[in-house]
Structure 1
Protein backbone atom coordinates (compact mmCIF):
# COMPACT_ATOMS: atom_id res chain seq x y z
CA UNK A 1 0.00 0.00 0.00
CA UNK A 2 1.39 3.41 -0.97
CA UNK A 3 2.50 5.52 2.00
CA UNK A 4 2.64 9.32 2.33
CA UNK A 5 6.25 9.56 1.17
CA UNK A 6 5.52 7.36 -1.84
CA UNK A 7 2.57 9.57 -2.80
CA UNK A 8 4.68 12.73 -2.49
CA UNK A 9 7.46 11.16 -4.56
CA UNK A 10 5.07 10.07 -7.30
CA UNK A 11 3.29 13.45 -7.41
CA UNK A 12 6.53 15.39 -7.75
CA UNK A 13 7.87 12.97 -10.35
CA UNK A 14 4.77 13.71 -12.45
CA UNK A 15 5.12 17.46 -11.88
CA UNK A 16 8.70 17.28 -13.19
CA UNK A 17 7.52 15.03 -16.04
CA UNK A 18 9.96 12.25 -15.19
CA UNK A 19 9.33 8.60 -15.86
CA UNK A 20 10.52 6.24 -13.15
CA UNK A 21 13.49 5.44 -15.37
CA UNK A 22 14.29 9.14 -15.88
CA UNK A 23 14.24 9.83 -12.15
CA UNK A 24 16.20 6.73 -11.25
CA UNK A 25 18.96 7.77 -13.64
CA UNK A 26 18.94 11.35 -12.30
CA UNK A 27 19.14 10.12 -8.70
CA UNK A 28 21.65 7.37 -9.55
CA UNK A 29 19.52 4.51 -8.22
CA UNK A 30 17.72 1.52 -9.70
CA UNK A 31 14.27 1.94 -11.23
CA UNK A 32 13.20 -1.11 -9.19
CA UNK A 33 14.14 0.59 -5.92
CA UNK A 34 12.33 3.76 -6.98
CA UNK A 35 9.23 1.72 -7.80
CA UNK A 36 9.35 0.10 -4.36
CA UNK A 37 9.65 3.53 -2.69
CA UNK A 38 6.63 4.86 -4.58
CA UNK A 39 4.52 1.81 -3.80
CA UNK A 40 5.51 1.74 -0.14
CA UNK A 41 7.21 -1.64 -0.37
CA UNK A 42 10.49 0.00 0.72
CA UNK A 43 11.25 2.85 3.12
CA UNK A 44 13.86 5.47 2.17
CA UNK A 45 16.89 6.45 4.19
CA UNK A 46 17.38 10.11 5.03
CA UNK A 47 20.18 10.22 2.44
CA UNK A 48 17.86 8.81 -0.21
CA UNK A 49 15.16 11.40 0.56
CA UNK A 50 17.73 14.18 0.15
CA UNK A 51 19.07 12.64 -3.06
CA UNK A 52 15.59 12.40 -4.57
CA UNK A 53 14.77 15.94 -3.39
CA UNK A 54 17.81 17.22 -5.22
CA UNK A 55 17.03 15.21 -8.35
CA UNK A 56 13.47 16.56 -8.38
CA UNK A 57 14.66 20.09 -7.51
CA UNK A 58 12.15 20.29 -4.68
CA UNK A 59 11.55 23.68 -3.06
CA UNK A 60 12.85 23.67 0.52
CA UNK A 61 9.38 23.45 2.14
CA UNK A 62 8.56 20.45 -0.09
CA UNK A 63 11.86 18.77 0.81
CA UNK A 64 11.01 19.24 4.49
CA UNK A 65 7.58 17.72 3.86
CA UNK A 66 9.15 14.70 2.14
CA UNK A 67 11.55 14.21 5.05
CA UNK A 68 8.72 14.41 7.57
CA UNK A 69 6.63 11.93 5.59
CA UNK A 70 9.56 9.50 5.60
CA UNK A 71 9.95 9.85 9.38
CA UNK A 72 12.89 12.27 9.52
CA UNK A 73 13.28 15.74 10.99
CA UNK A 74 13.14 18.68 8.55
CA UNK A 75 16.56 19.84 7.45
CA UNK A 76 15.71 23.40 6.35
CA UNK A 77 14.86 25.93 9.10
CA UNK A 78 11.77 28.11 9.12
CA UNK A 79 12.63 31.12 11.28
CA UNK A 80 10.63 34.25 12.16
CA UNK A 81 11.60 37.33 10.18
CA UNK A 82 13.26 38.97 13.19
CA UNK A 83 15.33 35.92 14.15
CA UNK A 84 18.93 36.93 14.99
CA UNK A 85 20.23 34.30 12.56
CA UNK A 86 18.58 36.19 9.68
CA UNK A 87 20.04 39.59 10.60
CA UNK A 88 22.82 39.32 7.94
CA UNK A 89 20.21 38.47 5.29
CA UNK A 90 18.00 41.42 6.23
CA UNK A 91 21.04 43.71 6.29
CA UNK A 92 22.03 42.52 2.82
CA UNK A 93 18.54 43.27 1.48
CA UNK A 94 18.55 46.73 3.08
CA UNK A 95 22.00 47.45 1.68
CA UNK A 96 21.05 46.43 -1.88
CA UNK A 97 17.90 48.55 -1.83
CA UNK A 98 19.54 51.60 -0.26
CA UNK A 99 22.52 51.54 -2.62
CA UNK A 100 20.17 51.32 -5.60
CA UNK A 101 18.37 54.55 -4.71
CA UNK A 102 17.22 56.79 -6.33
CA UNK A 103 16.17 54.05 -8.75
CA UNK A 104 13.34 51.73 -7.60
CA UNK A 105 14.15 48.55 -5.73
CA UNK A 106 11.86 46.11 -3.90
CA UNK A 107 12.10 42.83 -2.03
CA UNK A 108 9.18 40.45 -2.55
CA UNK A 109 8.16 37.10 -1.09
CA UNK A 110 7.18 34.04 -3.13
CA UNK A 111 3.67 35.48 -3.67
CA UNK A 112 4.95 38.85 -4.94
CA UNK A 113 4.05 40.72 -1.76
CA UNK A 114 6.40 43.67 -1.23
CA UNK A 115 8.24 43.15 2.06
CA UNK A 116 10.77 45.99 1.67
CA UNK A 117 11.23 48.90 -0.72
CA UNK A 118 13.53 51.86 -1.20
CA UNK A 119 12.51 55.50 -1.77
CA UNK A 120 12.45 55.18 -5.55
CA UNK A 121 10.04 52.23 -5.34
CA UNK A 122 7.92 53.95 -2.70
CA UNK A 123 7.42 56.82 -5.13
CA UNK A 124 6.10 54.45 -7.80
CA UNK A 125 3.93 52.56 -5.30
CA UNK A 126 2.46 55.85 -4.12
CA UNK A 127 1.59 56.74 -7.71
CA UNK A 128 -0.16 53.36 -7.94
CA UNK A 129 -2.14 54.24 -4.77
CA UNK A 130 -1.09 51.16 -2.80
CA UNK A 131 -0.90 53.00 0.56
CA UNK A 132 2.37 51.28 1.36
CA UNK A 133 0.94 47.73 1.19
CA UNK A 134 1.44 46.12 -2.17
CA UNK A 135 1.39 42.91 -4.08
CA UNK A 136 3.12 43.53 -7.40
CA UNK A 137 0.65 41.38 -9.33
CA UNK A 138 -2.24 43.25 -7.69
CA UNK A 139 -0.57 46.52 -8.70
CA UNK A 140 -0.39 45.27 -12.29
CA UNK A 141 -4.03 44.11 -12.30
CA UNK A 142 -5.32 47.32 -10.71
CA UNK A 143 -3.33 49.54 -13.07
CA UNK A 144 -5.12 48.19 -16.17
CA UNK A 145 -7.47 51.15 -16.47
CA UNK A 146 -5.32 53.92 -15.07
CA UNK A 147 -3.04 54.69 -18.00
CA UNK A 148 0.02 54.59 -15.73
CA UNK A 149 1.48 51.58 -17.55
CA UNK A 150 1.79 52.37 -21.25
CA UNK A 151 2.62 48.83 -22.43
CA UNK A 152 0.24 47.12 -20.00
CA UNK A 153 -0.63 44.17 -22.26
CA UNK A 154 3.00 43.39 -22.93
CA UNK A 155 3.92 43.47 -19.23
CA UNK A 156 0.78 41.49 -18.29
CA UNK A 157 1.49 38.67 -20.75
CA UNK A 158 5.11 38.38 -19.66
CA UNK A 159 4.04 38.43 -15.99
CA UNK A 160 1.48 35.72 -16.68
CA UNK A 161 4.16 33.53 -18.25
CA UNK A 162 6.39 34.14 -15.20
CA UNK A 163 3.59 33.19 -12.79
CA UNK A 164 2.92 29.94 -14.63
CA UNK A 165 6.61 29.05 -14.61
CA UNK A 166 6.83 29.72 -10.87
CA UNK A 167 3.76 27.57 -10.17
CA UNK A 168 5.30 24.73 -12.16
CA UNK A 169 8.60 25.04 -10.29
CA UNK A 170 6.80 25.01 -6.94
CA UNK A 171 4.63 22.05 -7.90
CA UNK A 172 1.52 24.17 -7.42
CA UNK A 173 0.69 27.13 -5.21
CA UNK A 174 -2.85 28.26 -4.35
CA UNK A 175 -2.07 31.98 -3.97
CA UNK A 176 -0.05 32.18 -7.18
CA UNK A 177 -2.76 30.20 -8.98
CA UNK A 178 -5.39 32.67 -7.76
CA UNK A 179 -3.31 35.60 -9.05
CA UNK A 180 -2.84 33.78 -12.36
CA UNK A 181 -6.58 33.21 -12.72
CA UNK A 182 -7.37 36.85 -11.95
CA UNK A 183 -4.84 38.13 -14.46
CA UNK A 184 -5.70 35.67 -17.23
CA UNK A 185 -9.44 36.40 -16.84
CA UNK A 186 -9.03 40.09 -17.66
CA UNK A 187 -10.42 41.15 -21.02
CA UNK A 188 -7.25 43.03 -21.98
CA UNK A 189 -5.27 39.82 -21.45
CA UNK A 190 -7.79 37.64 -23.31
CA UNK A 191 -7.73 40.03 -26.27
CA UNK A 192 -3.95 40.55 -26.24
CA UNK A 193 -1.87 38.95 -28.96
CA UNK A 194 1.38 37.40 -27.71
CA UNK A 195 2.65 37.22 -31.29
CA UNK A 196 2.77 41.03 -31.39
CA UNK A 197 5.37 41.15 -28.61
CA UNK A 198 8.82 41.50 -30.07
CA UNK A 199 10.77 38.90 -28.10
CA UNK A 200 13.85 39.63 -30.21
CA UNK A 201 14.45 42.88 -28.32
CA UNK A 202 17.59 42.93 -26.21
CA UNK A 203 15.50 44.39 -23.38
CA UNK A 204 11.72 44.47 -22.94
CA UNK A 205 11.08 47.55 -20.75
CA UNK A 206 8.23 48.57 -18.49
CA UNK A 207 7.01 51.95 -19.74
CA UNK A 208 5.30 54.24 -17.23
CA UNK A 209 3.43 57.50 -17.66
CA UNK A 210 3.68 60.04 -14.83
CA UNK A 211 1.87 63.15 -15.98
CA UNK A 212 3.70 64.28 -19.10
CA UNK A 213 6.78 62.22 -18.22
CA UNK A 214 7.46 58.89 -19.89
CA UNK A 215 9.60 56.53 -17.83
CA UNK A 216 11.27 53.42 -19.22
CA UNK A 217 12.81 50.84 -16.86
CA UNK A 218 14.02 47.26 -16.97
CA UNK A 219 14.64 44.93 -14.06
CA UNK A 220 17.05 42.42 -12.64
CA UNK A 221 15.85 39.90 -10.05
CA UNK A 222 18.28 38.49 -7.46
CA UNK A 223 17.74 35.61 -5.07
CA UNK A 224 19.95 34.26 -2.30
CA UNK A 225 21.83 31.12 -3.28
CA UNK A 226 23.00 29.83 0.11
CA UNK A 227 20.25 30.95 2.51
CA UNK A 228 18.62 27.76 3.80
CA UNK A 229 15.66 29.30 5.65
CA UNK A 230 12.45 28.38 3.84
CA UNK A 231 11.05 31.93 3.81
CA UNK A 232 14.16 34.06 3.46
CA UNK A 233 15.51 31.73 0.80
CA UNK A 234 12.51 32.55 -1.38
CA UNK A 235 12.84 36.34 -1.02
CA UNK A 236 13.68 38.04 -4.30
CA UNK A 237 15.15 41.48 -4.81
CA UNK A 238 14.02 43.33 -7.94
CA UNK A 239 16.11 46.32 -8.96
CA UNK A 240 14.80 48.60 -11.71
CA UNK A 241 17.21 50.44 -13.98
CA UNK A 242 16.52 53.44 -16.24
CA UNK A 243 16.71 52.98 -19.99
CA UNK A 244 16.99 56.61 -21.04
CA UNK A 245 18.11 60.04 -19.87
CA UNK A 246 14.57 61.27 -19.07
CA UNK A 247 14.07 58.38 -16.66
CA UNK A 248 17.45 58.98 -15.03
CA UNK A 249 16.65 62.66 -14.49
CA UNK A 250 13.17 61.91 -13.11
CA UNK A 251 14.45 59.68 -10.33
CA UNK A 252 17.53 61.75 -9.59
CA UNK A 253 15.31 64.78 -9.03
Structure 2
Protein backbone atom coordinates (compact mmCIF):
# COMPACT_ATOMS: atom_id res chain seq x y z
CA UNK A 1 0.00 0.00 0.00
CA UNK A 2 1.52 3.30 -1.09
CA UNK A 3 2.55 5.63 1.74
CA UNK A 4 2.54 9.42 1.92
CA UNK A 5 6.29 9.37 1.32
CA UNK A 6 5.83 7.10 -1.69
CA UNK A 7 3.20 9.46 -3.08
CA UNK A 8 5.55 12.45 -2.68
CA UNK A 9 8.35 10.68 -4.52
CA UNK A 10 6.13 9.45 -7.34
CA UNK A 11 4.40 12.82 -7.78
CA UNK A 12 7.67 14.74 -7.88
CA UNK A 13 9.32 12.18 -10.13
CA UNK A 14 6.58 12.98 -12.64
CA UNK A 15 6.98 16.73 -12.07
CA UNK A 16 10.70 16.42 -12.86
CA UNK A 17 9.90 14.09 -15.78
CA UNK A 18 12.04 11.28 -14.42
CA UNK A 19 11.40 7.62 -15.06
CA UNK A 20 12.13 5.31 -12.13
CA UNK A 21 15.39 4.43 -13.86
CA UNK A 22 16.30 8.11 -14.33
CA UNK A 23 15.69 8.91 -10.67
CA UNK A 24 17.45 5.80 -9.41
CA UNK A 25 20.56 6.75 -11.38
CA UNK A 26 20.35 10.36 -10.14
CA UNK A 27 20.02 9.20 -6.52
CA UNK A 28 22.61 6.40 -6.86
CA UNK A 29 20.24 3.60 -5.91
CA UNK A 30 18.60 0.62 -7.62
CA UNK A 31 15.41 1.09 -9.61
CA UNK A 32 13.98 -1.89 -7.71
CA UNK A 33 14.57 -0.20 -4.35
CA UNK A 34 12.96 2.99 -5.66
CA UNK A 35 9.95 1.01 -6.85
CA UNK A 36 9.60 -0.56 -3.41
CA UNK A 37 9.80 2.90 -1.74
CA UNK A 38 7.12 4.32 -4.02
CA UNK A 39 4.79 1.38 -3.49
CA UNK A 40 5.31 1.33 0.27
CA UNK A 41 6.89 -2.14 0.30
CA UNK A 42 10.04 -0.62 1.81
CA UNK A 43 10.63 2.21 4.26
CA UNK A 44 13.38 4.76 3.55
CA UNK A 45 16.26 5.65 5.82
CA UNK A 46 16.78 9.28 6.73
CA UNK A 47 19.81 9.41 4.43
CA UNK A 48 17.72 8.01 1.56
CA UNK A 49 14.99 10.64 2.06
CA UNK A 50 17.62 13.38 1.88
CA UNK A 51 19.25 11.81 -1.16
CA UNK A 52 15.95 11.58 -3.02
CA UNK A 53 15.02 15.12 -1.94
CA UNK A 54 18.24 16.40 -3.46
CA UNK A 55 17.84 14.35 -6.64
CA UNK A 56 14.30 15.65 -7.08
CA UNK A 57 15.32 19.21 -6.12
CA UNK A 58 12.48 19.39 -3.64
CA UNK A 59 11.79 22.84 -2.16
CA UNK A 60 12.94 22.88 1.45
CA UNK A 61 9.43 22.90 2.97
CA UNK A 62 8.54 19.82 0.93
CA UNK A 63 11.80 18.09 1.87
CA UNK A 64 10.76 18.60 5.49
CA UNK A 65 7.34 17.15 4.65
CA UNK A 66 8.98 14.10 3.05
CA UNK A 67 11.11 13.56 6.15
CA UNK A 68 8.05 13.84 8.39
CA UNK A 69 6.12 11.40 6.19
CA UNK A 70 8.97 8.91 6.55
CA UNK A 71 8.99 9.32 10.34
CA UNK A 72 11.98 11.66 10.72
CA UNK A 73 12.40 15.15 12.14
CA UNK A 74 12.72 18.03 9.64
CA UNK A 75 16.22 19.28 8.87
CA UNK A 76 15.41 22.72 7.47
CA UNK A 77 14.44 25.39 10.03
CA UNK A 78 11.49 27.75 9.70
CA UNK A 79 12.39 30.65 11.95
CA UNK A 80 10.53 33.90 12.69
CA UNK A 81 11.92 36.95 10.90
CA UNK A 82 13.36 38.37 14.11
CA UNK A 83 15.27 35.20 15.03
CA UNK A 84 18.90 36.04 15.96
CA UNK A 85 20.14 33.33 13.57
CA UNK A 86 18.69 35.27 10.62
CA UNK A 87 20.26 38.61 11.59
CA UNK A 88 23.27 38.11 9.25
CA UNK A 89 20.89 37.40 6.35
CA UNK A 90 18.88 40.57 6.97
CA UNK A 91 22.12 42.53 7.33
CA UNK A 92 23.36 41.16 4.02
CA UNK A 93 20.13 42.22 2.31
CA UNK A 94 20.33 45.70 3.84
CA UNK A 95 23.96 46.05 2.78
CA UNK A 96 23.23 45.06 -0.81
CA UNK A 97 20.33 47.49 -1.06
CA UNK A 98 22.08 50.40 0.69
CA UNK A 99 25.22 50.09 -1.43
CA UNK A 100 23.12 49.96 -4.59
CA UNK A 101 21.57 53.35 -3.90
CA UNK A 102 20.77 55.65 -5.62
CA UNK A 103 19.65 52.96 -8.07
CA UNK A 104 16.54 50.94 -7.12
CA UNK A 105 16.84 47.71 -5.17
CA UNK A 106 14.16 45.55 -3.55
CA UNK A 107 13.78 42.26 -1.69
CA UNK A 108 10.75 40.15 -2.62
CA UNK A 109 9.39 36.98 -1.09
CA UNK A 110 8.23 33.87 -2.90
CA UNK A 111 5.00 35.58 -3.94
CA UNK A 112 6.56 38.80 -5.25
CA UNK A 113 5.64 40.87 -2.21
CA UNK A 114 8.18 43.63 -1.56
CA UNK A 115 9.56 43.11 1.95
CA UNK A 116 12.43 45.61 1.80
CA UNK A 117 13.42 48.49 -0.50
CA UNK A 118 16.16 51.09 -0.71
CA UNK A 119 15.63 54.80 -1.32
CA UNK A 120 15.91 54.51 -5.09
CA UNK A 121 13.18 51.87 -5.15
CA UNK A 122 11.12 53.84 -2.65
CA UNK A 123 10.95 56.65 -5.19
CA UNK A 124 9.40 54.31 -7.75
CA UNK A 125 7.15 52.49 -5.27
CA UNK A 126 5.74 55.82 -4.14
CA UNK A 127 3.95 55.92 -7.51
CA UNK A 128 1.87 52.85 -6.61
CA UNK A 129 -1.51 52.98 -4.91
CA UNK A 130 -0.22 51.45 -1.67
CA UNK A 131 3.55 52.03 -1.31
CA UNK A 132 3.64 50.25 2.07
CA UNK A 133 2.22 46.99 0.72
CA UNK A 134 3.48 46.36 -2.80
CA UNK A 135 3.27 43.20 -4.86
CA UNK A 136 5.28 43.46 -8.07
CA UNK A 137 2.77 41.44 -10.07
CA UNK A 138 -0.01 43.73 -8.87
CA UNK A 139 2.11 46.64 -10.12
CA UNK A 140 2.27 44.97 -13.53
CA UNK A 141 -1.48 44.29 -13.52
CA UNK A 142 -2.29 47.86 -12.53
CA UNK A 143 0.13 49.07 -15.18
CA UNK A 144 -2.05 47.56 -17.87
CA UNK A 145 -4.48 50.45 -17.32
CA UNK A 146 -1.87 53.15 -16.77
CA UNK A 147 0.72 54.69 -19.04
CA UNK A 148 3.57 54.17 -16.59
CA UNK A 149 5.39 51.30 -18.35
CA UNK A 150 6.15 52.23 -21.95
CA UNK A 151 6.99 48.68 -23.08
CA UNK A 152 4.31 47.00 -20.98
CA UNK A 153 3.77 44.11 -23.41
CA UNK A 154 7.45 43.13 -23.33
CA UNK A 155 7.53 43.29 -19.54
CA UNK A 156 4.33 41.22 -19.27
CA UNK A 157 5.68 38.47 -21.55
CA UNK A 158 8.94 38.25 -19.57
CA UNK A 159 7.08 38.29 -16.25
CA UNK A 160 4.80 35.45 -17.31
CA UNK A 161 7.83 33.44 -18.43
CA UNK A 162 9.48 33.97 -15.04
CA UNK A 163 6.31 32.95 -13.20
CA UNK A 164 5.98 29.77 -15.26
CA UNK A 165 9.62 28.87 -14.55
CA UNK A 166 9.19 29.44 -10.81
CA UNK A 167 5.99 27.37 -10.70
CA UNK A 168 7.69 24.51 -12.55
CA UNK A 169 10.68 24.59 -10.20
CA UNK A 170 8.34 24.45 -7.22
CA UNK A 171 6.32 21.64 -8.74
CA UNK A 172 3.24 23.84 -8.65
CA UNK A 173 2.11 26.55 -6.28
CA UNK A 174 -1.51 27.65 -5.97
CA UNK A 175 -0.80 31.28 -5.04
CA UNK A 176 1.79 31.77 -7.77
CA UNK A 177 -0.50 30.05 -10.28
CA UNK A 178 -3.31 32.41 -9.28
CA UNK A 179 -1.00 35.40 -9.80
CA UNK A 180 0.03 34.09 -13.22
CA UNK A 181 -3.61 33.51 -14.15
CA UNK A 182 -4.52 37.08 -13.22
CA UNK A 183 -1.82 38.38 -15.55
CA UNK A 184 -2.60 35.93 -18.35
CA UNK A 185 -6.31 36.80 -18.32
CA UNK A 186 -5.75 40.53 -18.84
CA UNK A 187 -7.29 41.67 -22.11
CA UNK A 188 -4.08 43.49 -22.96
CA UNK A 189 -2.12 40.25 -22.58
CA UNK A 190 -4.59 38.32 -24.75
CA UNK A 191 -4.10 40.91 -27.48
CA UNK A 192 -0.30 40.66 -27.48
CA UNK A 193 1.17 39.59 -30.80
CA UNK A 194 4.22 37.59 -29.68
CA UNK A 195 5.70 37.95 -33.15
CA UNK A 196 5.80 41.72 -32.69
CA UNK A 197 7.98 41.50 -29.57
CA UNK A 198 11.69 41.52 -30.25
CA UNK A 199 13.16 38.96 -27.86
CA UNK A 200 16.41 38.94 -29.82
CA UNK A 201 17.95 41.67 -27.68
CA UNK A 202 20.97 41.49 -25.41
CA UNK A 203 18.96 43.25 -22.69
CA UNK A 204 15.22 43.89 -22.50
CA UNK A 205 14.74 46.75 -20.02
CA UNK A 206 11.68 48.03 -18.24
CA UNK A 207 11.01 51.51 -19.60
CA UNK A 208 9.13 53.80 -17.22
CA UNK A 209 7.50 57.12 -18.12
CA UNK A 210 7.21 59.68 -15.35
CA UNK A 211 5.67 62.68 -17.06
CA UNK A 212 8.33 63.89 -19.48
CA UNK A 213 10.99 61.69 -17.87
CA UNK A 214 11.85 58.33 -19.44
CA UNK A 215 13.70 55.78 -17.29
CA UNK A 216 15.19 52.59 -18.65
CA UNK A 217 16.22 49.86 -16.17
CA UNK A 218 17.28 46.22 -16.25
CA UNK A 219 17.64 43.87 -13.29
CA UNK A 220 19.78 41.21 -11.71
CA UNK A 221 18.16 38.79 -9.22
CA UNK A 222 20.04 37.07 -6.40
CA UNK A 223 19.14 34.40 -3.86
CA UNK A 224 21.01 33.19 -0.78
CA UNK A 225 21.83 29.64 -1.79
CA UNK A 226 23.41 28.68 1.53
CA UNK A 227 20.50 29.91 3.69
CA UNK A 228 18.67 26.83 4.92
CA UNK A 229 15.67 28.53 6.50
CA UNK A 230 12.55 27.64 4.55
CA UNK A 231 11.33 31.24 4.13
CA UNK A 232 14.49 33.33 4.21
CA UNK A 233 16.04 30.99 1.65
CA UNK A 234 13.31 31.97 -0.81
CA UNK A 235 13.90 35.71 -0.55
CA UNK A 236 15.26 37.33 -3.71
CA UNK A 237 17.20 40.55 -4.02
CA UNK A 238 16.47 42.44 -7.24
CA UNK A 239 18.89 45.21 -8.12
CA UNK A 240 17.92 47.53 -10.98
CA UNK A 241 20.54 49.19 -13.14
CA UNK A 242 20.22 52.15 -15.53
CA UNK A 243 20.66 51.35 -19.18
CA UNK A 244 21.30 54.89 -20.41
CA UNK A 245 22.85 58.14 -19.19
CA UNK A 246 19.51 59.92 -18.73
CA UNK A 247 18.42 57.26 -16.22
CA UNK A 248 21.79 57.50 -14.44
CA UNK A 249 21.42 61.24 -14.08
CA UNK A 250 17.83 60.98 -12.85
CA UNK A 251 18.72 58.76 -9.91
CA UNK A 252 21.99 60.47 -9.10
CA UNK A 253 20.15 63.79 -8.81
Q: Same fold (TM over 0.5)?
A: yes
Cα distance between partner residues in 2 of 1:211 and 1:220: 26
Deviations 1:110-169 (A, max 9, x none): 100000000111111111233321010011101111100001111001100110110110
- Deviation of residue 200 (structure 1)? 1.8
Q: Which residue of 2 aligns with 1:56?
A: 56
Cα distance between partner residues in 2 of 1:71 and 1:196: 54
Q: Which residue of 2 aligns with 1:135?
A: 135
Cα distance between partner residues in 2 of 1:123 and 1:159: 22
Cα distance between partner residues in 1 of 2:66 and 2:187: 40
Deviations 1:4-31 (A, max 9, x none): 0000111100110111111011111111
Q: What is the TM-score when the length of structure 1 is the normalising length?
A: 0.98
**Alpha carbon RMSD of aligned pairs, Å?**
0.8
Q: Which residue of 2 aligns with 1:107?
A: 107
Q: How does 1:11-26 map to 2 (within 5 A)?
A: 11-26=11-26
Secondary structure of 1:127 counterpart: coil
Structure 1 position 252 matched with structure 2 position 252: yes
Cα distance between partner residues in 2 of 1:95 and 1:33: 48
Q: How does 1:144-223 map to 2 (within 5 A)?
A: 144-223=144-223
Cα distance between partner residues in 2 of 1:131 and 1:107: 14
Conservation of the 8 A alpha-carbon contact between 1:220 and 1:240? yes
After superposing on structure 2, the runs of 4+ consecutive aligned residues of structure 1 that deviate more than 4 Å are: none
Conservation of the 8 A alpha-carbon contact between 1:122 and 1:132? no
Conservation of the 8 A alpha-carbon contact between 1:128 and 1:143? no
Cα distance between partner residues in 1 of 2:70 and 2:195: 47
Q: Which residue of 1 aligns with 2:6?
A: 6
Cα distance between partner residues in 1 of 2:128 and 2:151: 15
Aligned residues: 253
Cα distance between partner residues in 2 of 1:59 and 1:197: 33
Cα distance between partner residues in 2 of 1:90 and 1:193: 42
Conservation of the 8 A alpha-carbon contact between 1:130 and 1:139? no
Q: What is the TM-score when the length of structure 2 is the normalising length?
A: 0.98
Cα distance between partner residues in 2 of 1:128 and 1:249: 23
